[in-house]
Amino acid sequence: MERQCNRWWSPVLLWALLIVLAAVAPVSSISRDDFPTGFVFGAGSSAYQVEGAAAEGGRTPSIWDTYAHEGRTADKRTGDVAADQYHKYKEDVKLMHDMGLDAYRFSISWSRLIPNGRGPVNPEGVQYYNNLINELKKYGIEPHVTLFHFDLPQALEDEYSGVLSPNIVEDFTAYADVCFKEFGGSVKYWVTINEPNVYSIQGYDLGNFPPNHCSSSLASFYGLNCTKGNSSVEPYVAGYNLLLSHASAASLYRKKYQPKQKGYIGITLFAPWVEPFTALPEDIAAANRVLDFLIGWFVDPIVCGRFPFVMRKLVGSRLPSFKPEESAILRGSFDFIGFNHYMEFSVQAATSNPDDNLRDWYTDVNFKIPQTNVTKALVSKDPPTIPLAPWAMQRLLDYIRDKYGNPPVFIHENGYPEYNIDPTTTEYNYHDEHRATYMRDYIESMLLSIRNGSNVRGYFAWSFVDSFELVDGYRNRYGLIGVNFSVQNRTRYRRYSGDWYSKFLKPMHIGEDIEMWM
Ligand code: GAL
């Protein structure tokens, strides 16, 4: 009684204070309750970037194994072990559950499932993906599965030059058929191809992605190490064949599987926002051209059955044209479109006309990036140099809504890179508060577009665990969960950003964690 009387605080007052804080604090920030019912929050990965087990379970090399083994990555390392998710999927799924993810976006390794690219199916591959899917389902985590995330079977590259050949359409469709048949009972969200725009530009114009094609004139111009290629023509042929592959797989899904399996199918594009550097009409036109060459190149065909007018005009006969039956199968070949959005950059009209002897995707678009922006946006080296432009997310989504009739959309990737981490000092670094800030601001920007009517259905952080980051090898990290790549066991450790996302996803209890929202 004595103590009770002496207490300087009253429980009633404290509760009142907490209730006021809980009611007021979130107003200054966002919570998942602000999003429509059914909105999905997840995180993602891709097969070659996390699985490892490159030579196990019947898998054969993809073009990324070849690239990495040729010593082309920044740190000369490969995805042979990567984050070892092949062996650690149970631990990872448990971490996803602990974080509160609704969904996990991953891709299937084509050469694990069908080692020769076409023909016999590898039962161990089927088993692995069934194990992963079942583990996700056990925790109520929805699998969102990409069929092709850059890692073309090397066998198909060797046999007929991969996506430069029309043969790819039939083989991709047969591979997709196996995936729908084996996993479609449990998988309701399918992406046919991740970033065909990046695959075409980096693989066939710049040549800094496998299969490293570019024109010899460009190789010396950009200082790249290409084996062969024709940057004037091949990016457009690759894009065309990838589009037809997508449409063929989507059409198969719709006819043979969708009525029973009741899932959804789409395609995912790399989608920075592009802003005019000035209000001059020529800069505005340049920004629109870049958007058409980057996004419209793939979205116009699946929405309207043709390439954007400006591409047809500027690329001319180097741009393949769709036959009427191809247009017909492309048009409407999606239930949703995925966008991978990380950044914004501004552009100006190029000052000189493109040199006809040096035509490639870049000179066809005919733009330039002001020097200050190049260093900031495209070659960011050390944190925190990635320009924080969360407003760009809203602008991108508003643009898609207005230009393409408000299709259902997923943000399939959004995340913050840390470059050149010194593994001796920061391997276990927990403090990535900047990544949490980045995510919060981008998620908030997405919400503004949703409130203005955009049909966004979900958001996936890139990446769930640290990964083999393609050309950067392990010098670049995006993980909500860090991975110690120096030890055989590939130990995981949840970062601040993972804690933040978890708290964002799980309902807040009064009296707990209020500081997260302040
Ligand atoms: C995307 C790609 C991912 C990932 C990410 C971060 O373009 O789809 O695989 O590497 O960039 O660099």
Asked if residue 254 lies in contact with residue 329, where contact means CB atoms within 8 angstroms, the answer is: no
Q: Please tell me if the CB atom of residue 195 comes closer than 6 angstroms to any atom of ligand 1.
A: yes
What pLDDT, on a 0 to 100 scale, did the predictor assign at position 355? 73
Residue (of 64, 63, 47, 54) closest to 154 by Cα position: 63
What's the distance, Cα to Cα, between the start and end of the chain in Å? 36
ω into 324 cis (within 30 of 0): no
How is residue 321 written in tokens?
């044209």
Residue (of 344, 463, 336, 462) closest to 400 by Cα position: 336
Alpha-carbon distance values, 374 to 294, 369, 386 (Å): 17, 6, 11
Q: Which residues of 335-369 are buried (b: 16+ CB within 10 A; e: fewer)?
A: bbbbbbbbbbbbbbbeeeeeeeeebbbbbbbbbbb
Q: Please tell me if the CB atom of residue 340 comes closer than 6 angstroms to any atom of ligand 1.
A: yes
**Catalytic residue, candidates 234, 326, 413, 469:** 413
Distance CA 156, CA 184 (A): 25
Helix (H) or strand (E) holding 330: helix 324-330
Question: Using one digit for the tens of pLDDT, what is the confidence trace for 450-475?
Answer: 999 999 999 999 999 999 999 999 98
Neighbours of 33 (CB within 10 A): 9
Q: Please tell me if the CB atom of residue 51 comes closer than 6 angstroms to any atom of ligand 1.
A: no
Q: Exposed, middle or buried by CB within 10 Å (0-12, 13-18, 19+), for 80?
A: middle
**Catalytic residue, candidates 135, 142, 157, 195:** 195
Q: Please tell me if the CB atom of residue 418 comes closer than 6 angstroms to any atom of ligand 1.
A: no
Q: Residue 490, by phi and psi: left (phi above 0), alpha (psi -120 to 50) or beta?
A: left
Pocket residue to mutate for ligand 1, from 470, 471, 478, 480, most atoms within 8 A of Cβ? 470
DSSP string, 14-28: HHHHHHHHHHHGGGG
How is residue 261 written in tokens?
């399996």
Q: Residues with Cβ < 8 Å from 215, sequence gap 6 or more?
A: 226, 229, 230, 231, 232, 358, 360
Residue (of 91, 94, 102, 88) closest to 43 by Cα position: 102
Per-residue pLDDT of the chain (518 residues; tens, 9 = 90+): 333 334 434 444 444 444 444 443 333 478 899 999 999 999 999 999 999 999 999 999 999 999 999 999 999 999 999 999 999 999 999 999 999 999 999 999 999 999 999 999 999 999 999 999 999 999 999 999 999 999 999 999 999 999 999 999 999 999 999 999 999 999 999 999 999 999 999 999 999 999 999 988 776 666 677 879 999 999 999 999 999 999 999 999 999 999 999 999 999 999 999 999 999 999 999 999 999 999 999 999 999 999 999 999 999 999 999 999 999 999 999 999 999 999 998 999 988 777 777 789 999 999 988 865 443 333 334 444 556 799 999 999 999 999 999 999 999 999 999 876 655 555 557 888 989 999 999 999 999 999 999 999 999 999 999 999 999 999 889 999 999 998 999 999 999 999 999 999 986 644 444 444 43
Q: Please tell me if the CB atom of residue 268 comes closer than 6 angstroms to any atom of ligand 1.
A: no
Question: Can you give the length of the chain in residues?
Answer: 518
Q: Please tell me if the CB atom of residue 270 comes closer than 6 angstroms to any atom of ligand 1.
A: yes
- What is the dihedral sign for C-alpha 47, 52, 56, 57? negative
**Could you tell me the pTM of the whole model?**
0.91
Distance CA 305, CA 251 (A): 14
Q: Whose CA is nearest to atom 7 of ligand 1?
A: 270
Distance CA 130, CA 136 (A): 10
DSSP string, 41-75: EEEE--HHHH---TTSTT---BHHHHHHHTT-STT
Distance 112 CA to ligand 1 centre (A): 21
Residue (of 146, 111, 121, 144) closest to 42 by Cα position: 144
What pLDDT, on a 0 to 100 scale, did the predictor assign at position 387? 63
**Is 418 assigned a catalytic role?**
no
Distance 323 CA to ligand 1 centre (A): 32
**Is 70 assigned a catalytic role?**
no
Distance CA 260, CA 359 (A): 47
* CATH code of the region 11-517: 3.20.20.80
Dump strand ranges (E) for 196-246.
none
Residue type, 32: R
Q: Whose CA is nearest to atom 10 of ligand 1?
A: 469
Question: Using one digit for the tens of pLDDT, what is the confidence trace for 123-151?
Answer: 999 999 999 999 999 999 999 999 999 99
Q: Please tell me if the CB atom of residue 468 comes closer than 6 angstroms to any atom of ligand 1.
A: no
Residue (of 269, 243, 254) closest to 322 by Cα position: 243
